Amino acid sequence: LDEGLRCVGCGSLIQTTDKNEAGYTPMSALIKGLENGEVIDQRCFRLRNYNEIQPVSLTDDDFRRMLDQISGTNSLVVYVMDVFDFSGSLIPGLHRFVGDNPVLLVGNKIDILPKSLKRSKIREWIRQQANMAGLRPVDIALTSGKNGDDVPALLDLIEKYREDRSVYVVGVTNVGKSTLINQIIKYVTGEKKDVITTSRFPGTTLDRIEIPFDEDTSIIDTPGIIHQDQISHYLTAKDLKYAAPQKELKPRTYQLDAGQTLFFGALARFDYIQGDHAGITNYFENNLMIHRTKLAKADEFYAKHAGELLAPPTTENLADLPELVRHEYKTTEKTDLVIDGLGWITVPANSVIAGWAPAGVSVLIRKAMI
């Protein structure tokens, strides 16, 4: 390939090997482009023709430089997170990088949570988690980028807090930022095309995508960075279908006595160590297999059956799963044991419980939300 061949849209070096890297162009499109004398990479092609953006992977250094540049601006920072995976949504040190700029927190993928869960409670949980991470958001918006219904309300909130400043949208990958931005673009631009432009963060290879509000200000979408502790990073696409919820969670209740254990595929485990006989309700991906066994035999059971009876992941991918780590809690009120990115278990007051999750995945307790 010609060393100097660059995309006419963003200036990335054209390459045909890695779909996730900047400059990727399918060979057929490259040949066509060379014939027409204008090569455009797949990302810019989609942006130009469909007003649709695609994520691109990037380095930590570039990401830090980009955040640094945002702290030097006078802007509103819109921080998109996954309501179902708070710790997997965290940008380390974000509060330092945003400088004095206000942060509007967006809890996305709200459609996954049961409808019976009050929005005020979800906001309360998010605020609590944000404060623990050192963030003091000016407000919390709840959205489902998937259906897009909340986009007008989100734009109203943005308008309220931006006070004629530009808006930077930030978030790690997988929180649904691209889907949400695409909904915003659809809403803002309607049938208009070519209103969106790309430009670089100086000194980085990162593109930013700008959707103008007016002549001086715009919504600027920034690239996301991969958060290693998300469950999605050690499951195959097929296994992920049985672990990462796509639709509203349906509660599943098991009658448990102390001394019993539940396995959630081979991904997580719940031990009911002490407590009264009780109905214990589980909120996980509706197809994720829950298996009940005796606590005393649970270690042995896992060693024998993980990857087969207990799946996902299946045997061939089990080696990629970090070892399950145990987190023990005592409850004083009705409590949710939350396994970030996977689900939660509602347990009664006055019990002793343990949650097990792959190393790196947070296991926390909160006051029961339902």
Per rule CB under 6 A, is residue 148 in the interface with ligand GDP?
Answer: no
**Which residue in 25, 51, 129, 178 binds ligand GDP (CB under 6 A)?**
178
Tell me which stretch binds ligand GDP (CB under 6 A): 12-20, 143-151, 153-161, 265-273. Answer: 143-151
Of 88 and 358, the one with the shorter C-beta distance to ligand GDP is 88
Q: How far apart are CA 173 and CA 223, in angstroms?
A: 8
Per rule CB under 6 A, is residue 55 in the interface with ligand GDP?
Answer: yes
75-82 and 166-170 as β-strands: parallel, antiparallel, unpaired? parallel
Per rule CB under 6 A, is residue 183 in the interface with ligand GDP?
Answer: no
**Which residue in 15, 16, 179, 317 binds ligand GDP (CB under 6 A)?**
179
Give me the least distance between CB of 247 and ligand GDP, in Å please. 7
Give me the least distance between CB of 256 and ligand GDP, in Å please. 29
Q: How far apart are CA 236 and CA 121, in angstroms?
A: 33
Token output for 255: 């009658």
Sequence-distant (6+) residues with CB within 8 A of 184 are: 151, 154, 155, 211, 219
60 near 67, Cβ under 8 Å? Answer: no
Work out the end-to-end distance of the chain between its first and last CA atoms, rounded to an integer number of angstroms: 58
Phi, psi of 198 (to 5 degrees): -115, 150
Q: How far apart are CA 123 and CA 270, in angstroms?
A: 26
Give me the least distance between CB of 223 and ligand GDP, in Å please. 9
Tell me which stretch binds ligand GDP (CB under 6 A): 35-43, 167-175, 209-217, 302-310. Answer: 167-175
Tell me which stretch binds ligand GDP (CB under 6 A): 10-18, 175-183, 342-350, 359-367. Answer: 175-183
Residues in contact with ligand GDP by CB under 6 A are: 55, 108-109, 111-112, 144-146, 171, 173-179, 224, 246
